[in-house]
Amino acid sequence: MDIKNTTRKKNPNLPFQKIKESVLGNGYDLSLVFIGDKLSKKLNNKYRKINKPTNILTFTLSKNEGEIFINLNLSKKQSSKYERKYTDFVGFLLIHGLLHLKGYEHSSKMEVEEKKIRKKFKL
């Protein structure tokens, strides 16, 4: 797992590797990139045709490889809206993205899986 931070913010204190392995296993190659509003908006516009920043973008590159981009600025702003601590919200976003990489689409089944993993990591 490769973690890169392109922002001036510190990485949230989370067990990123353990969360990743819990969802995708050891054999999955994940690139996790922390970004700001500008790059988030650019990527969201390019790949989703939505011209505004988003909190997370997930890209499957192959069966065992993917990328997750988390916007730390927007995550900080949105955490209180979702009544979560900032770090917990980033953890929730990571879990959400990992489940997308595993093949889940938005559904009650995905929500159940998210709750299991959040409970396991106390998020």
Walk me through the domains of the chain, giving residue ranges and CATH numbers.
2-120 (3.40.390.30)
Spatial separation of the C-alpha atoms in residues 71 and 78, rounded to whole Å: 11
Prediction pTM value: 0.94
Which of 83 and 66 is assigned the larger pLDDT?
66
Q: How many CB atoms lie within 10 A of CB 54?
A: 17
Residues with Cβ < 8 Å from 88, sequence gap 6 or more?
A: 79, 123
pLDDT category at 82 given cuts 50, 70, 90 is confident
Q: What is the pLDDT of residue 112?
A: 96
CB burial of 91-121 (b: ≥16 within 10 Å; e: otherwise) equals bbbbbbbbbbbeebeeeeebeebbeebbeeb
Spatial separation of the C-alpha atoms in residues 29 and 81, rounded to whole Å: 32
Q: Are 85 and 14 in contact (CB under 8 A)?
A: no
Mean pLDDT of 70-97: 95
Mean pLDDT of 28-35: 98
Residue type, 119: K
What are 92's two structure tokens?
């929730």
Spatial separation of the C-alpha atoms in residues 60 and 88, rounded to whole Å: 24
Mean pLDDT of 25-37: 97
